[in-house]
Amino acid sequence: MSDLLAGSAFVPSFDNPLEMLLACHGKIQAQCVTLHKLLQHLSSHGCDTQARQAAHTILRYFDTAGQNHHDDEEQDLFPRLLATSNAEVHKLIARRSVGGVRH
């Protein structure tokens, strides 16, 4: 379970905002992997110290960096993409809302 909190050494540059967003997507996926591992851990070990730490880390990520990422997309990226006349881009952005939940 000690690998639940393992992170990536890659640090994107603010000079490339799309690189930053892509790196954040990788971190979101890593948090989802951790959540899956946590579920497995809970069934075997219960809610021990490692499980509580992992759950706290996941929640903190989505309450802070995850929310900032979402705001960046909604306020900066999507409006700029929607300003283009590319119909395919418009369709992709419209699809991000699934069941009333924005991704």
pLDDT tens column, 20-71: 888 999 999 999 999 999 999 999 999 999 999 999 999 999 999 989 988 9
Question: Which residue range(s) make up the domain with 89?
Answer: 13-102
Does 34 reside within a domain? yes
**CATH, residue 48:** 1.20.120.520
Does 96 reside within a domain? yes
- Tell me the C-alpha distance between 18 and 67, whole Å: 17
Which of 11-20, 63-72, 83-92 shows the lowest mean pLDDT across its residues? 11-20
Is residue 29 within 8 A of residue 7, CB to CB? The reply is no
Does 7 reside within a domain? no
Does 29 reside within a domain? yes
Does 39 reside within a domain? yes
Both tokens assigned to 62: 């989505």
Number of domains in the chain: 1
Alpha-helical regions (H) of the chain: 17-45, 49-63, 65-72, 78-82, 87-95
